[in-house]
Structure 1
């Protein structure tokens, strides 16, 4: 029974993570399809307040993900004669969310049953005693750091912003941030049109 409850909670968290979607703002797709070469530039301000988001490993993984996704679309990196300039930003903010307490089957006792559940990648302990009623579990607040990865694509000749893609997700798992943003970069660039 404990296994089935854990499986249900895990499935619920996966569905929450899957709710994040890529947002895109762009010029006409046909116009974008003419660009075939890009180079990286750095933004003039640092946007992330978390050291773990601005490290060289995170940057390298994001750039590799973008390079792979662009190559699939027929767009290559060329630092000498680019058509496009690329830069990415990571913004973070502190957020609070009301979360229902984990439902379990009713029982009587002290310290029995599920002792924790996962939320936004963190293991949260449950403190309770006596009769536990799953139909009156109530809510509690979860505090987490929200991160938004933004990738900008700029015309190299006139500095016009041509395309912007972004994705927002919690960033509390410091150990997995590099992989998380690499995956998000691929998903964001997946929305970019193919070159002619």
Structure 2
């Protein structure tokens, strides 16, 4: 009985540990005075015309900003908007997203080789065969010391995207995953 319970517990841990999001970059500046930072703001990108200027892209980036704001606020940082009376923020946050079209392949097996009768120098070799395409998205978050203009945290998370696009819950989960590696909690 204990063996079955142990197996079920192990299986549940394995299922919950699997995440569709993979952190592909997590670099921090150890010399940065992390405990002195209190406020943050997003880099103004209103003058930049995004290549994928669709409404879906813009709304997804706004959701990413909301998710980043939530994560930084949970860690004790205060957002400073465009209101200059509030002063210059300690940190600037820059976000970026890249979506690539990928081709899924599989290798052929010897059982798929054509039957061949004839010359002795027949050669068969396994090869990759395309079986489908999918989209892979990478979300990058850069945090910069606003006064020194130094990059102090550079993180990115990667995931395969569904055919219907990205939902708010998926964005929140991806941003939450990358912030599990955030260097410090501000008090």
The TM-score normalised by the length of structure 1 is: 0.61
Q: Give the drift of 1:37.
A: 0.5
Q: After TM superposition, list the pairs within 5 Å mapping 1:61-76 onto structure 2.
A: 61-76=63-78
Give unpaired runs (5+ residues) of structure 2: 1-13, 108-127
1:147 to 122, 137, 156: 137
Residues 49-88 of structure 1, C-alpha deviations (whole Å, 9 max, x = no match) = 47365222x2332122112211221111013321001110
2:93 counterpart of 1:91: no
CA contact (8 A) 2:23 2:155 kept: no
Aligned positions, number: 146
Which structure has the bigger radius of gyration?
2
CA contact (8 A) 1:155 1:161 kept: yes
CA distance in 1, matches of 2:63, 2:179: 14
The aligned residue for residue 54 of structure 1 is 57
Give unpaired runs (5+ residues) of structure 1: 1-10, 101-137
CA contact (8 A) 1:153 1:162 kept: yes
CA contact (8 A) 1:24 1:165 kept: yes
RMSD: 3.1
Q: Give the drift of 1:160.
A: 1.1
CA distance in 1, matches of 2:153, 2:72: 14
The aligned residue for residue 151 of structure 2 is 161
CA contact (8 A) 1:146 1:170 kept: yes
The TM-score normalised by the length of structure 2 is: 0.64
The aligned residue for residue 160 of structure 2 is 170
CA distance in 1, matches of 2:51, 2:170: 15
The aligned residue for residue 182 of structure 1 is 172
Q: Give the drift of 1:32.
A: 2.3
CA contact (8 A) 2:90 2:147 kept: yes
